[in-house]
Amino acid sequence: MSLRQFIKDLGFITGGAALLNTIPWLESCTPEKLKEIKGEKARIAVIGTGSRGQYHIHNLKEIPHAKIVALCDNYRPNLLAAMSLCPDAKPYDDYHKLLENKDIDGVIVATPLNWHAPIVLDALSAGKNVFCEKAMAHSLEECKAIYNAYLHTNKVLYFCMQRMYDEKYIKGMQMIHSGLIGDVVGMRCHWFRNADWRRPVPSPELERKINWRLYKESSGGLMTELACHQLEVCNWAAKKMPESMMGMGDIVYWKDGREVYDSVNVTYHYTNGVKIAYESLISNKFNGMEDQILGKKGTMDLAKGIYYLEEDNTNSGMRQLIDQVKDKVFAAIPTAGPSWRPETKMDYTPHFVIESDIHVNSGLSMIGADKDGSDIILSAFCQSCITGEKAKNVVEEAYCSTVLCLLGNQAMDEQKLIVFPEEYKIPYMKF
Amino acid sequence: MFHGSVPHVMGTRFDVLIIHSDQSLLNSLWKRIIMEMEMLDKMLNRFDSDSETSHINANAALHPVDVTESMWTVLQYCSSFYNRTMHLFDVTLGHFSNVELDESRSVRFKSEGVSLDFGGFAKGYALLRIQGILSEEGISQAFIDFGNSSLMGIGHHPYGDCWKVSLVNPYNNLVVDEFSLKDSSMSTSGNSPQKTKHIFHPINKLFNDEKKLSTIVADNPLDAEILSTVWMIADEEQQHIISNNFNNIQAKVYQL
């Protein structure tokens, strides 16, 4: 796992320990901590074994300190699919019954959004450690209820904020916080896809169950499904929370009876004037997915793990010549032609956040990308199930970004400027 | 080394790389270069209604217009090139015979409809002036890229024996040829996807729309500039005759 290697490497570089201090949720991922639990296995149950649940099952099977002991889904085909992946696990179709099982240390919740809060709260009450998919919950009230339960429980609670465990993001953030791209002046996040987001439905009465993402009773639409991660990244970069938001949402193309928007534009405003321009559209995929932080001195594309410096904007021939002279290389520069070719974005030299192989998450998958941090955070959770060590900041970050998504939806629904409501502020937030 | 860049001057982008160790010399040198370019731009820009060129264009048909010493030098060059290129280089695009230059340093247009257009001249002239400035200041190694079409290599690359450039086909971005510049300049003219028909033949009054490039390498950057557009419109016989009127030039035409 490259993140473990990254953390291991931190031990050898100056400032490594200091860096680890700025990312406290990684403390449990150090090689020393892993040694402590050698040989033990956390007994894990998965509640909600649809596509995302099965994705977690695949990752869990790779984790040496985890064992899948139970599965639960009230949609039989999904349960059967999971059972074929884990033949030794006990199957349930009612999560209450599963929670009565004393031989479970931790549960993974990968159900539709409106089930997150009920199951998380019940699981914590039942004395289980909980790892829940993002977003935190379907409503502001539910988020607050989970946060309050978290403050009072001694069990471990994680939300799947995988970018916090993604090496590209961790290093990229460290570069941003050290001033590499100068003062942060703006942020642009988008997630474009070209698909209807629908799953095939064997019979009409299953429509709202299987296509839960499309209906307001079970889904927060593009904001909770996609924006959640990206807003968390922006707050991570800004080190604060937006104080107001406004936006517009529409169903532009997929007019198929769905209730959630297929096109959202929300602007989030920080007190210093910096804004997040958030866009998501699922009828055109040209722009893909990106979390772009704009600084006075440079720009960082966190999803690609590439940054560009403003001072690099020379014409490509001259830029190549300068690089060559710096590298003591003598070669022809491809600059002669009948007329000037104007600057394009391509003329900035790309610099890589991670020197080695870049694995880019195009954002096209509905389920998740390989090596995007999901495996790491899951592993950290399983480790916590054994050690009882809580993850620092994960719940707070999940709360912050989820609440921003829900407020973004509110702004779009009500067509007005929303100021962050006092009753949903928590001490962790800085404005 | 020093990299100076002007994003927009004379309609395009200017970059220079100077190899020298004296930073304060380089800084003052750069100021000189910028001043020179701004002066030339101001003088030669026909789109600027305050320029000397615009003033001449507005008045020379009505009465003789006194010109500055700098403009006089420019007009002398233009006249010389008009004669040495069989009239294919013509800053009035076909009416230079109607331009009368008087020893008292004035210019008059003998008829209506005459207008000066220094498009195929200005960058080459700027490079000539800059060549002089660099030489005065003792710079022996520098590379200038003026809008990709006008290049000048002074001395050689710090790690090679010349400055090497490749010529890129604007239609497919593939390299067409490679050139070695050592105390020489290279100018490229031609059509491109953005400008398919912009080079005017002053005698047959047609715009050239051929998909081709012409490249001139010469010791004198102004010669290179003038001749690269001439080569787009001259036929082989004309090219042969014109070559004899210039020293140290190499010309090539590429059919794309």
* ipTM, 2 dp: 0.88
Q: How far is A346 from chain B (nearest CA, A)?
A: 14
Any chain A CB within 8 A of the CB of B196? no
Chain B stretch 123-162, residues whose beta carbon is closer than 8 A to a beta carbon of chain A: 143, 145, 147-149, 151, 157-160
pLDDT digit string, tens, across residues A149-196: 999 999 999 999 989 988 888 889 989 998 999 999 999 999 999 999
Which residue among B13, B168, B178 places its CB closest to the CB of A337? B168
Chain B residues in contact with A310 by the CB 8 A cut-off are none
Question: How many angstroms separate the CA atoms of A139 and A84, rounded?
Answer: 34
Are A336 and B166 in contact by the 8 Å Cβ rule? The answer is yes
Chain B residues in contact with A317 by the CB 8 A cut-off are 145, 148, 165
Question: How many angstroms separate the CA atoms of A63 and A365, rounded?
Answer: 23
Any chain A CB within 8 A of the CB of B166? yes
Residue A358 banded pLDDT, cuts 50, 70, 90: very low
Which residue among B160, B179, B195 places its CB closest to the CB of A336? B179
Q: How far is A277 from chain B (nearest CA, A)?
A: 29
Query: Cβ of A337 and B186 within 8 Å?
Result: no
β-bridge mates for residue A291, sequence order: A189
Q: How far is B113 from chain A (nearest CA, A)?
A: 28
User: Chain A: residue nearest B152 by CA?
Assistant: A336
Residue with tokens 């592993």: A379
Which residue among A321, A333, A339 places its CB closest to the CB of B192? A339
Annotation: CATH topology of A2-164+373-392? Rossmann fold (3.40.50)
pLDDT digit string, tens, across residues A362-381: 555 555 555 678 888 998 99
Residue A325 banded pLDDT, cuts 50, 70, 90: confident
User: Chain B: residue nearest A324 by CA?
Assistant: B159
Query: Cβ of B148 and A318 within 8 Å?
Result: no
pLDDT digit string, tens, across residues A60-95: 999 999 999 999 999 999 999 999 999 999 999 999
**How many CB atoms sit inside 10 A of residue A186's CB?**
15
Q: For residue A58, give the nearest of A379, A330, A281 by alpha carbon.
A: A379
Q: How far is A338 from chain B (nearest CA, A)?
A: 5
Annotation: CATH topology of A179-368+396-424? Dihydrodipicolinate Reductase; domain 2 (3.30.360)
**Has residue B35 got a pLDDT over 80?**
yes
- What is this structure's pTM? 0.65
Query: Cβ of A317 and B165 within 8 Å?
Result: yes
Q: How far is B32 from chain A (nearest CA, A)?
A: 21
φ, ψ at B8 (rounded to 5°): -150, 105
Query: Cβ of B15 and A338 within 8 Å?
Result: no
- Indicate the range of A52-66, A336-350, B39-53 predicted with least confidence: A336-350
pLDDT digit string, tens, across residues A19-33: 777 788 887 777 777
Chain B residues in contact with A336 by the CB 8 A cut-off are 148-149, 151, 165-168, 179, 186, 188, 215
Are B9 and B33 in contact by the 8 Å Cβ rule? The answer is no
Are A168 and A305 in contact by the 8 Å Cβ rule? The answer is yes
Task: Kindly list the domain boundaries of chain A, sorted by start residue.
Answer: 2-164+373-392, 179-368+396-424
